[in-house]
Amino acid sequence: MNSLVKLQKNLGLEFKDKKLLRQALVHRSYLNEHPDFETGHNERLEFLGDAVLEIIVTEYLYLNFSDTPEGDLTNWRAALVNAKMLYSVAADLDVESNLYLSKGEAKDKNKKSRHYILANAIEAIIGAIYLDQGFPAAKKFITAKIISHLDKILKNKSYLDPKSRFQERAQEEAGITPHYEIIKEEGPDHAKDFTVGLYLDTKMITTGEGSSKQEAQVQAAAKGLKKMNW
């Protein structure tokens, strides 16, 4: 059984109750194959950790940015606590090598679902830290591992969604408001796939795909930001 020694070192703390940390790493699928495992799955810890993360990030932003409007603070908080950010934190801490997954889930190569599992595991770990060592330890962990990314988020304006960021840069750099056009629609009404083009004036910059027009536009904008080096 994984001793979790290296993970605790990466987290920067040692658990009094190792079972709490172990439970934070147990995906529901694992228990289908190991019903007698010593802990339950991590979803209740995730529920708790989500609330702890939100209050600590909110408090930090409230106290440190007293002149910033609520709307901006909301966007900054969302950028700090979203699944993409939490996945990157999980990758930095090497959480994946400690996950308890079913054989089928472990073999699944779907990046999107694995990213969500890892993001959820970070929330569960936060819940476990809170239960094991209290609010100060959870605050220290969140400040060091998550809030520390705020400067980069503000510098890159990554708190804006890709469409907003691309539009802002396009107007700054080219004086043009981008627009999107549907190139292709496939599939039945209840499960359509859309391909859209992102244009600056008449020039197509990139395309994006998704199960909705909005999703396809967001993907196109994200690809456009990379292509234009914005």
Q: Please give the model's pTM, rounded to 2 decimal places.
A: 0.77
Confidence bin at 109 (pLDDT 50/70/90):
confident
pLDDT given for residue 17 in this prediction: 97
Cα distance between residue 146 and residue 40, in whole Å: 26
How many Cβ atoms from other residues are within 10 Å of residue 175's Cβ? 8
Q: Is 132 helix (H, G, I), strand (E, B) or coil?
A: helix
**Of the listed 46, 50, 105, 132, which one is catalytic?**
50
Whether residue 204 has pLDDT greater than 60: yes
Closest CA to 229 of 156, 178, 161: 156
Alpha helices in 25-110 (DSSP H): 28-33, 43-64, 70-81, 83-92, 103-107
Query: With pLDDT > 70 as the criterion, what percentage of the chain qualifies?
Result: 99
Whether residue 158 has pLDDT greater than 90: no
Q: What would the mean pLDDT of 128-135 be, rounded to a whole number? A: 98
- How many residues are there in the chain? 230
Closest CA to 124 of 95, 94, 84, 145: 95
Cα distance between residue 72 and residue 61, in whole Å: 10
Q: Is 203 helix (H, G, I), strand (E, B) or coil?
A: strand
Look at the block and give the residue holding tokens 């605790």.
Answer: 8
Name all domains of the chain by residue range, CATH numbers in brackets: 5-156 (1.10.1520.10), 162-227 (3.30.160.20)
Cα–Cα distances in angstroms (integers) from residue 181 to residues 144, 185, 192, 215, in the given order: 43, 11, 16, 13
Q: What would the mean pLDDT of 9-31 be, rounded to a whole number? A: 96
Q: Is 109 left (phi over 0), alpha (psi -120 to 50) or beta?
A: alpha
pLDDT given for residue 2 in this prediction: 63
Q: What are 170-200's pLDDT values in tens digits?
A: 999 999 999 999 999 999 888 899 999 999 9
- Highest mean pLDDT range out of 105-119, 131-145, 165-179? 131-145
Q: What are 78-88's pLDDT values in tens digits?
A: 999 999 999 99
**Of the listed 123, 161, 172, 181, which one is catalytic?**
123
Whether residue 157 has pLDDT greater than 70: yes
Mean pLDDT of the chain: 94
Whether residue 1 has pLDDT greater than 70: no
168 is a catalytic site residue: no
pLDDT given for residue 230 in this prediction: 87
Q: What would the mean pLDDT of 89-103 be, rounded to a whole number? A: 95
59 is a catalytic site residue: no
How many Cβ atoms from other residues are within 10 Å of residue 200's Cβ? 18
Look at the block and give the residue holding tokens 């228990």.
Answer: 31
Q: What would the mean pLDDT of 109-127 be, rounded to a whole number? A: 92
